[in-house]
Amino acid sequence: MKIRSLQILFVLLLVCPSLENPRIALAAGGDTPKSAEAEIQALKAQVAKLAKQAQNSQDYIAICNLEDAYGYYVDKAQWDQVADLFTKDGTLEIGLRGVYVGQDRVRAYLHKLPDLKYGSVFNHMQLQPMVTVDSDGKTAKGRWRAFIQVGQLHTRAQWGEATYENEYVNQDGVWKIKKLHAYFTYYVPFDKGWDKGGDPPPAAIPDLPPDQPPTEVYKLYPDVYIPPYHYKNPVTGR
Amino acid sequence: MRISSLLAVVVLLFAAVALWSLRGAFASSDSKPKGTEAEIQALKAQVADLTHRTQYAEDYIALSNLQTAYGYYVDKCMWDQVADLFAKDGTLEIGLRGVWVGQDRVRAYLHTLPDFKNGTLFDHMQLQPMITIDRDGKTAKARWRAFEQFGMLHSAAEWGGGVYENEYAKEDGVWKIKKLHYYMTYYVDYYKGWDQGGLPVPGPIKGLPPDQPTTDAYKAYPDVYVPPYHYKNPVTGK
């Protein structure tokens, strides 16, 4: 009798804690129990990953807007606004004019370009972004193209096309142009089209020599040149 | 003797279980107060929703980059790089040339197009994306347009414009072109512009018959045609 009641008490005591705690009951069912702490840690890791992914998308948008804004200022010859899009150590290389190093030099170069006045067209459409944000979210690269219409009343009308390979950097949460490199594909007179050769690229600026020579020497249409891609084939990775 | 030893064991067990239960009670009141479970569930639901939305934005960017990369390779006649952007069962249909089925056939077709050599201009600007990602995030569709400047030194200068209705599939985390269909709106001689009729849409290629006939028969400018939209009006849904 005594032994039997003791046995019952013994069994009850063994069962009791698992009844009290449903997670132990779950554990007995083969499911790995997760403490609240573990679940919160898992959620934190997911949120951190999401924050990074969301930031990457936001960065893509900010960089697209930055390049678009560049184009709209260039159209209207707002050279100080253009220069302000560059980092202090930013560089600019247009065609075969050489490299201007640092925001002050970029600004000086830009002010050598035409003013916006009656009779001028200086459209530089910024098109076809292929933007790659680096995994640290601090730097990015973009391939773009410009479709260009330049005109001076009674003087000249030209089509032009260029490929950009640009670099950007995020400084204190703001994306800036670190390096802008425009490779011209062609410049042609409006009345001659693109089957009769083309115009030469914009000439060097005699009274403002660049800080560095052109990084690549190439010819415009009718010659052909492939500006190097900053990215691999997005499907094959090659 | 036996009973007393059993009793001793039971008492010890009781004490151990009691202590353990108390510890468990303290621990659970520490790390999992009432409502914690509900909060964790709510956070999980939010994280799942954010994961979906973040992925959507990432997919949009990847799809946009895929199509712009396509254009940059086409410009330079890099036909193998272009073919590599297609899924193994991908299809390609340009103008009225018929449908090429499968990556190998797409590649064969592409290699009938011009090589990139001096005197060649083959610009195909990829513009104006209207991208729709399907709910499951595995497939997508997009309408794009190309604005073309085609030139062969001393023989041809043309403008071209057209609309793409493309489909994409995500395979092992990588977006690929599943179907590319380009409807040409016009091809015109550079010197004639678009008020004197236009050039015919490119038809079948001698020596490489397509796998399927053209899906929609239409004529380019001066005829008019509305390529079907893959989407409804985004405002009215009609």
Asked if the model's pLDDT at residue A112 lies above 80, the reply is yes
pLDDT, mean of residues A7-30 = 46
Lowest mean pLDDT among A74-78, A115-119, A203-207: A203-207
Topology annotation, domain B36-189: Nuclear Transport Factor 2; Chain: A, (3.10.450)
Domain definitions of chain A by residue range: 36-189
Sheet of B120-133: strands edge to edge? B99-101, B86-94, B174-189, B156-171, B139-152, B120-133
Angle between helices A36-75 and B36-75 (to 10 degrees): 40
Residue A147 at interface with chain B, using a CB cutoff of 8 Å: yes
User: Among residues B209, B214, B148, B138, which one has the least CA distance to residue B181?
Assistant: B214
pLDDT tens string A150-206 = 999 999 999 999 999 999 999 999 999 999 999 999 999 999 999 999 999 888 898
Nearest by CB to A37, from B31, B62, B125: name it.
Answer: B31
The residue-averaged pLDDT of A114-127 equals 97
User: What is the Cα–Cα distance from A208 to B123, expressed in whole angstroms?
Assistant: 33
Q: Name residues 55-74 of chain A within 8 A of B (Cβ).
A: 56-57, 60
Instruction: Say which of B21, B37, B119 has its CB closest to residue A17.
Output: B21
Question: Considering CB atoms only, which of A57, A161, A238 is closest to B123?
Answer: A161
Output the pTM of the full model. Answer: 0.86
- Alpha-carbon distances, residue A156 vs A96, A196, B42, B158 (angstroms): 21, 17, 65, 21
Is the CB of A145 inside 8 Å of chain B's CB atoms? yes
Q: How far is B10 from chain A (nearest CA, A)?
A: 6
pLDDT at B8: 64
The first and second tokens of residue B144, run together, are 């794009």
Question: Any idea which fold A36-189 has?
Answer: Nuclear Transport Factor 2; Chain: A, (3.10.450)
CA distance linking residue A184 with residue A225, whole number of Å: 9
pLDDT tens, B34-67? Answer: 689 999 999 999 999 999 999 999 999 999 999 9
Measured CA to CA, the distance from residue B142 to residue B68 in angstroms comes to: 12
Contact B121 A221 (CB under 8 A): yes
Q: Which of A60, A124, A195, A221 should be substituted to probe chain B, the one whose Cβ sees the most B Cβ atoms within 10 Å? A: A195
* A190 contacts chain B (CB < 8 A): no
| Binary contact (B72, A193; C-beta < 8 A) | no
**Taking CB atoms and an 8 Å limit, are A57 and B61 in contact across chains?**
yes
Provide, as residue numbers in chain B, all residues whose Cβ is less than 8 Å from the Cβ of A149: none
Tell me the domain boundaries of chain B: 36-189
